[in-house]
Amino acid sequence: MNDDLRGQYENYPYPPRDPADEAARLITGSPSHISEIEHHITGGIRNTDVPRRILIAGGGTGDATVMLAAQHGAAGIDAEIIHLDISEASSAIAKARIDARGLTNTTFVHGAIETIAERALGTFDYIDCCGVLHHLKDPVAGLKALREALKPMGGLGMMVYAPLGRTGVYHAQAMLQMITGDAPDPERISAARQLLGELPDSNWLKRNPHVGDHIDQGDSGIYDLLLHRRDRAYSVPELAGLIQQGGMRPVNFVDPARYEPSVYLSSAELVKRTSGLNWVQRCAFAELLAGNMKTHILYAVRDDNRTNTLAIPDTADTIPVMRDGDGPALGAQIKLGMSLKVDMEGVKLSLPLPALAAPILLLIDGKRSLAQIHAGLKSTQKPAPGWDTFKGQFDQLFSSFYGLSRMFLTKPS
């Protein structure tokens, strides 16, 4: 089976990428955006004097590798990045993308994540494992191997498939297994294309608007979505169990607002009832309520790491950072009484914004602390807000933007 998986990614590297595109854009996402890592794993601290060791466990065609290498280079952080993957063809694409950007901080290693210890790669401050664990024969063993490769204060960013948002995918996989079995891959892909063209309007895959790799990612997308030989999805409780068995503990999901039932509910009675659930139960309730989550993205640390890794806006020297550096641009667009509206794959969310949202955002540049932002407000707002008023307003603003992974926090190193 492992040989089959290796052959899949040798012949159909996924996701399909063209190194020439690096001249036009940098693909960013979650997990492993540098602002997310620092918020969830390093307690909000960016220390440019201390080198970071980063492992991309199952790096594929290089999205996370390129993003991490480019972002750390731009931030002036000395980072040693190791891209590990079972597919030489996929790694060759990732290396070509790194070379196209002129980056020199990445090493490429061929192999499976279960064999990390055998390769004497050392330990890491951060590990990215995106879209890999759900393809392993023994995901718990894979996660344990990653745990052992983490430094005591290190952390992991992971993505696994979720079942409800992939409704129809596993039905289609079952049908294709029935009719193609162990046929050569070109035959299997041809049969998949024919079946996709014959799906009735009642078919769950055809009715699912949130899954599109079989439509826009070519043969690689069809294979990875519908013909993968080892593919499972995790509900929130199942993922919590995997993390615990792997010797890890969760920090938080991305985007955390999607995992909070009160975001979806208007009934005060239902909000009260769900507020009595523990965190995993609330997240599980939200998953069932939304019904459209096709992946779970999560940050985790070793179970013996007792540090409060999730930074909160608790001191005046805390520095808010917009994920895309767009604080002033957003501040110029927001009017009094507006809310933060977003469409989460068919679920329309409206998160509240405080009265001082616009003037606060205008001052968020990734350098000013809360104290400095408060001082700036006192010179522009009449009447000038006191600290408690400002802090209450900022906390509400942060809750909404952090809930969508748009705002994070740093602290002086």
**Which tens digits make up the pLDDT trace of 357-373?**
999 999 999 999 999 99
Specify whether 205 is located in the same domain as 337: no
Specify whether 133 is located in the same domain as 50: yes
Specify whether 48 is located in the same domain as 155: yes
Residues 6+ apart with CB under 8 A from 405: 30, 36, 254, 255, 256, 323
Specify whether 73 is located in the same domain as 191: no
Specify whether 192 is located in the same domain as 247: no
CATH number at residue 32: 3.40.50.150
Q: Could you give the number of structural domains in the chain?
A: 3
Specify whether 141 is located in the same domain as 258: yes
User: Which among 199, 227, 255 is the end of a domain?
Assistant: 227
Structural domain including 200 reads 165-227
**Joined tokens for residue 208:** 């699912």
pTM over 0.85: yes
Q: Is 311 part of any domain?
A: no
209 alpha-carbon distance from chain centroid: 21
User: Which secondary structure element, helix H or strand E, spans residue 322, and what is its range?
Assistant: strand 319-322
Which strands make up the sheet holding 124-130, listed edge to edge? Answer: 106-110, 79-85, 52-57, 124-130, 150-161, 295-302, 248-254
Contact yes or no for 13/93 (Cβ under 8 A):
yes
Q: Is 199 part of any domain?
A: yes
Q: Is 313 part of any domain?
A: no
Among 70, 146, 61, CA closest to 106: 70
Specify whether 149 is located in the same domain as 283: yes
**Joined tokens for residue 214:** 């079989």
Q: Is 65 part of any domain?
A: yes
Specify whether 140 is located in the same domain as 169: no
Q: Is 314 part of any domain?
A: no
Average pLDDT, the chain: 94
pLDDT in tens, 302-353: 999 987 655 566 789 999 999 987 899 999 999 988 888 899 888 888 888 9
User: Is 326 exposed, middle or buried, given 0-12, 13-18 or 19+ CB atoms closer than 10 A?
Assistant: middle
User: Which among 174, 199, 227 is the end of a domain?
Assistant: 227
Among 224, 238, 229, 100, CA closest to 177: 229
pLDDT value of position 309: 59
Amino acid at 28: T
Specify whether 50 is located in the same domain as 86: yes
Specify whether 69 is located in the same domain as 179: no
User: Which among 227, 245, 278 is the end of a domain?
Assistant: 227
Q: Is 307 part of any domain?
A: no
* Cα 362 from Cα 364, distance rounded (Å): 6
CA 213-155-157 angle, to 5 degrees, is: 10
Q: What b/e sequence results for 236-247 when a residue is b if at least 16 CB atoms lie within 10 Å of its CB, and e otherwise?
A: bebbbebbeebb
**Mean local confidence (pLDDT), 249-271:** 96
